[in-house]
Amino acid sequence: MQAKPWYRNPWFWLAATPALGGVVSGILLVIIAVHGADEVIRDDYVKVGMEIRQDNSRLEAAKRLGLTANVILLRDNRQVVVTLHGLEGEQPDLLLRLVHPTDGRRDQEVALVRSAGAYRADLSGEATGRWLLQLEPTDGSWRLDGELKADASAVALGVES
C-alpha cells in the first residue's frame, strides 16, 4: 500500500482547521479594528489619575474676559462671518472649529481673517445640518462654545449667565 500525500490525509485537515480558522479570524479582527477605529474627541479633556474629565478653564477665561461672539453661517456660499465682542485693543487671530456631532470626518477648522470689523472665512466642505462651534484665538488662551441647529444660520457664542 502506497502512502497518501499529507494534503490528502483527513487527519491533517481535522487537526489544522481550528488553527487556520484562528489565523483567519485574527487577521479579520485586525482589519476591522483598523478600519473601524473610534474617532478622536475634539474637546478639552484632562486625565487625572484614572478619571477623565472635561477641562473648562478656557471657557472660564472667556467668561472672565466677558467675551461673546455672533457667528453667521452662509451655508449656500460656504462662508462664515464672526463678530467678537468684549475684547478691547488689538484683535487676536481666531480659529473657528466646526465639529460635526456624529461624523468626525466632516469636522472643519478655519483660520478667520479680519475684514471690516468682523472675521470671515471660506469653508472647505459642506455645512449642512447641525454643528458644534468652537471659537478660540490662535494662542488657545480662551474659547467660546456654541451649537448651530440644523435650520439656523446664526448663533451667539458665549458663557450664559
What is the C-alpha to C-alpha distance for residues 84 and 124, in angstroms, rounded to an integer?
Answer: 22
Give the fold, CATH level 3, of 56-158.
Immunoglobulin-like (2.60.40)
Q: What is the pLDDT of residues 91-144, one digit of tens each?
A: 788 999 988 888 888 888 999 998 878 899 998 877 788 888 989 998 888 889
Q: What is the pLDDT of residue 161?
A: 42
Note the pTM of the prediction, 2 decimals. 0.66
Q: What is the pLDDT of residue 51?
A: 64
